[in-house]
Structure 1
Amino acid sequence: MVEFCKKITQSNIFKNFITVVILIAAILVGISTYDQFSLRHQSILSFLNTLILLVFILEVFIKVIAEGNKPWKYFMDPWNVFDFSIVFAAFLPFGGSSVAVLRLLRLLRVLKLINALPKLQMLVGALLRSIPSMFYVSILLSLLFYIYAVAGVFFFGENDPVHFRNLQTSMLSLFRVVTLEDWTDIMYINMYGCENYGYDSIMSRCTASTGNKWGAAIFFVSFVLIGTMIFLNLFIGVIMTGMDEARSDVEAKNKPKKSVDLLELESKVDEISEMISRLKIKNDS
């Protein structure tokens, strides 16, 4: 039974079948967003969701049985723990909010696709590895935001109270600038003054129009260059480093398997050569 379950879990047919079931589950989650269609076909959709849950339960049982006398080894793989958590959560009582929670849990089934596709696992692993380095990059970016936000309040607070009236509003406006969402509008307001640009519908808030062409241009262009170009490349570099580390880990895990396969092949070749030599001796005699 154990060997049979091992063969099932290692077969490509089983892996592809689970992938297809996950994709069907994802489609069913999307269909549930159409209320009228869901109500008309409620019985069919309920049956399919139950069937998908049974398939996931069966997958867990097969993988646990495949571990033989050490079923706890199944839980040593974080991806298996993730799969088990999604299946187990479907049996928890949620009271009055059960419908919303059930929909959320069905949505989480889509994430099982990560476990079904090794390349996605490597990508997620790379992102998780990058979190510590991304944290330090985020600290640098926060310092940059803080310095420019304080400077923005000092330089543009009177001219542009909508975007730079205080520190928190200034930081929010700079977030808009760094995402390049109409950032030139904010720059032009402070280049030409609020009475000449951008405050047409809210002219009552423009009380002290003082444009500064060169100062505003240098301020915003430098912030975009540093915040968007440099820090974006830093984030990409950190993620790429995480990708290389994740790829090297995958290769390191696969190397022992290859060496074991080579040893088995060498032993079989030796056995065949011995059998051939024995046959030759018998023929000679």
Structure 2
Amino acid sequence: MPSRRRIVPVRMDTTSPDPSLPPAPDIPPQPLARMCHRVAYAPWFQWTSTAVIVLNAIVIGVGTYQEATAQFGWLLNLLDEAFLIYFVVELVIRIGSFGTTPWRFFRKGWNIFDFIVIAAALLPGIRENVTLLRLVRLARTVRLMKAFPSLRILLTAVARSMPGALGLLGVCVVVLYLYGMVGWILFAEAEPTEYGSVGQAALTLFGLLTLDNVGEVVRDGMEVTAWAVPYYVSYIFLAGFILVNLLVGVVITSMEEARQIEGAQTNFRSREPETSADTAEILARLEALQRSLNELQSRDDSRN
């Protein structure tokens, strides 16, 4: 007797995200988390947070004036506490939007930065230290950079250019050391202030990277030795032209990569509603197929 294969019904969740919500992944099913998700991804909430960050930066700047601090110090402190309360509430809402998996909030670097900056202001050791507290308050202003695409592109470009820049920095250190040693040999007696040691020579050569007063420096060197011309010309050509232009090339390449990343993320967010609609259509077809398979299974059972 041929064996029969049992068709197990497949449970499908055909619920689709609320179209009134802005495009955002993984809408949690819990009512409270869903409400936090709705608020956290609402444009008005994001613009409010940006405005609060700007006001926080203005209050920090006003606090540097002694006259304003003497007259309105109590108001500035009150506003700072109000901003801190808002940032804590904002952080709680954003973490709560992840529902029963709040650890997913810390998968993004910006979220970790926000958490550290806001949580640091609540630590007892920092609140009693005026200098550290001011630095923590100032760090809140950095959060403004993630609100604007152009600033995000610059930050992404800086981060992506770091490996290449560090490599060029290593080459630049070697060049400065070698030319500093040669400069110490040539000009240590005549110019002890600039070339009295390899450290002073390297610092002097580092200042020449801006090509400021190069002609005067070369003329002063020619009065000491005839080797000054090939020494300075080769250094300026190698360090001032080649290395600096390589650094510019690394930064430009990183800027292009950052623009592509930002454009890809923007296109993904703009296509996300279409993706959700396509997913719902596929789920509907799979559900219809499941019903057909269940009917075939019922007929097969009735015959046997």
Paired with 2:173 and 2:202, the residues of 1 have a C-alpha distance of 10
Aligned to 2:244: 232
Paired with 2:239 and 2:65, the residues of 1 have a C-alpha distance of 41
Paired with 1:250 and 1:231, the residues of 2 have a C-alpha distance of 29
- Residue 182 of structure 1 deviates from its aligned partner by 3.6
Paired with 1:34 and 1:20, the residues of 2 have a C-alpha distance of 22
Paired with 1:267 and 1:91, the residues of 2 have a C-alpha distance of 44
The answer to whether structure 1 residue 161 and structure 2 residue 161 are counterparts is no
Paired with 1:252 and 1:66, the residues of 2 have a C-alpha distance of 24
- Residue 97 of structure 1 deviates from its aligned partner by 6.0
Match of 1:45 among 76, 88, 100: 76
Contact 2:121 2:133 in 1 (8 A): yes
CA, structure 1 residues 37+254, in 2 after alignment: closer, same or farther (shift >3 Å)? closer
Deviations 1:7-60 (A, max 9, x none): 322222222221111111111222222223212211110111111111111110
SS in 2 for 1:94: helix
The answer to whether structure 1 residue 245 and structure 2 residue 276 are counterparts is no
- Identify which range, 57-66 or 221-230, moves more after superposition: 221-230
Contact 1:159 1:190 in 2 (8 A): no
Paired with 2:52 and 2:126, the residues of 1 have a C-alpha distance of 28
Paired with 2:90 and 2:68, the residues of 1 have a C-alpha distance of 30
The answer to whether structure 1 residue 173 and structure 2 residue 204 are counterparts is yes
Q: Which has the higher helix share?
A: 1
Contact 2:127 2:133 in 1 (8 A): no
Deviations 1:203-232 (A, max 9, x none): xxxxxxx353xx323322332232222212
Paired with 2:130 and 2:87, the residues of 1 have a C-alpha distance of 20
Paired with 2:269 and 2:50, the residues of 1 have a C-alpha distance of 25
- Residue 167 of structure 1 deviates from its aligned partner by 1.1
Paired with 2:44 and 2:126, the residues of 1 have a C-alpha distance of 39
Paired with 2:198 and 2:128, the residues of 1 have a C-alpha distance of 39
After superposition, the CA RMSD in angstroms is 2.6
Paired with 1:174 and 1:24, the residues of 2 have a C-alpha distance of 43
Aligned to 1:144: 175
Match of 2:142 among 111, 128, 132: 111
- Residue 6 of structure 1 deviates from its aligned partner by 2.0
Contact 1:26 1:110 in 2 (8 A): yes
Paired with 2:125 and 2:216, the residues of 1 have a C-alpha distance of 48
Q: Which amino acid is 1:113 matched to?
A: L
- Where in structure 2 are the equivalents of 1:193-204 lying within 5 Å? none
Q: Give the TM-score normalised by structure 1.
A: 0.78
Aligned to 2:235: 223
Paired with 1:231 and 1:60, the residues of 2 have a C-alpha distance of 43
Q: Give the TM-score normalised by structure 2.
A: 0.74
Match of 1:131 among 136, 149, 162: 162
SS in 1 for 2:39: helix
The answer to whether structure 1 residue 9 and structure 2 residue 40 are counterparts is yes
Aligned length: 251
Aligned to 2:5: none
Paired with 2:278 and 2:139, the residues of 1 have a C-alpha distance of 46
Gaps of 5+ in 2: 1-31, 283-304
Q: Which amino acid is 1:110 matched to?
A: T
Contact 1:176 1:183 in 2 (8 A): no
